[in-house]
Amino acid sequence: MSRPDSPRGEPRSRPQPGRPEAHEHEHKHEQEPQTPTGFRQFVLKVHSRCNLACTYCYIYTGPDGSWRERPHRIPEATVRQVAYRIAEHTAAHRIGRIRLDLHGGEPLLAGPGFLVAYADRVRAAVREAAPGARVDVTVQTNGTLLTPAVLDRFAAAGIRVGLSLDGGSADLNARRVDHAGRPSWPAVRRAAGLLAARPETYAGLLSTIDPVTDPREVYRSLRRLGPPALDFLLPHAHWAAAAPGRHRPSPTPYADWLIGAFEQWWADREPGRPRLRLFSEILALLLGAESATEAVGTSPLAVVVVDTDGAVEQVDALKSAYDGAPATGLDVFRNSFDEALRHPGIAARRQGLRALAEECLACPVVRVCGGGNYAHRYSARTGGFRHPSVYCADLERLIRHLADRLAGELERRTRSRTRDGPSGPPGVHSAQGALTDVRLPVVDEE
């Protein structure tokens, strides 16, 4: 594998990452294992701008303004260097399968041909450096620029498409408008129809929770769009900027909403029921599995972000905390991904239970909750993240509800097996069936 030449000039990554002490002071006495687990998911920013102006967007309305400094589209020289670094990392850690999430902004602003070329470049580099390693590619889009021709190109290239929207109707998507205030729903509805007709290319849906909506209607409306997978995302918030309606320790508006959605999903026995990642992950954790998402559980972080200037960053959710929060000071021209593994912020999020607040460690659901999303723990008062999630009460209530439901289902299955023999009666709703293929192939955030 040959290393590409570096372009003239320095990349536009920030040499001074925002407040590294926010991570360092909390974990300076803790060390990663000598050979930490390599990254398996690479969120690759292909375009730093978006053609929508969603009212809750933390990228363009939050405290971090780094997007203003980035190239609109990632330059070709940076693409080559990203491909080299990913291949180098995959080979060094002998990783058999990695995932690329082509992201933005709105990635389709870069053009479908550019996205296919980017994926091809990475795949070729990985094939040379780590023969046999598999590279899965997903584009996460708002859907407004999706057309049959674009889907044809993605399908031919083996690229799947995830769609971001808040529900399956105009009213439920009222917060997702363009820069002139026009609704995005007509274009998104067409995009959802195109994807439903191309199931081999349809990765799933991401939906940010609005607690004033009816969760059952939101689920039913999204279900009608035929997604193979679905996830509900908590709005990014923390102790300095709580989400609407969020107070602790009570009430629990987001748990109430999620429980309503869960009950609708749990009762859904019709063919084609989508996998619902948050619920499936919690159920899997209750059954003793490891987590595969940062939202819950304590598995080591396995994702890293590369922005359009080649800057290596932590996950975008941190941009909701303070300006420069996801920055590492690293970039693909000067640094390997192994150096990113050792960055204090990334290392802090690979510590499992050791990274959690004392209050979390004393909680009976800590191994399922895992402290919640790291960004949701930030406190401006301490300048750090060693705190319970701002959604602590919501998460505990949701987990306890799912645990009760799971226990009841397992008890019913035990009774059925005792009465009807090992196979049980036909049509029994299996708790394990709810966990089938729970690893949703879309990135955790919009």
Give the pLDDT confidence score for residue 351 in this predicted structure: 85
Give the pLDDT confidence score for residue 28 in this predicted structure: 42
Q: What is the mean pLDDT of the chain?
A: 88
Q: What is the mean pLDDT of residues 24-39?
A: 57
pLDDT digits (tens, 9 = 90+) for 42-99: 999 999 999 999 999 999 999 999 999 999 999 999 999 999 999 999 999 999 999 9
Domains and CATH numbers, the chain: 36-352 (3.20.20.70)
Give the closest residue to 378 by CA, choosing from 242, 255, 234: 242
pLDDT at 395 over 60: yes
pLDDT at 149 over 60: yes
How many CB atoms neighbour CB 168 within 10 A?
Answer: 23
Give the pLDDT confidence score for residue 18 in this predicted structure: 44
Sequence-separated (6 or more) residues with CB below 8 Å from residue 262: 276, 279, 398, 401, 402, 405
Q: What is the mean pLDDT of residues 386-415?
A: 94
Residue where the block lists tokens 């996830």: 231
Sheet holding 303-306, edge to edge: 275-276, 229-233, 202-208, 159-164, 134-141, 97-103, 41-45, 303-306, 311-313, 327-331
Give the pLDDT confidence score for residue 15 in this predicted structure: 36
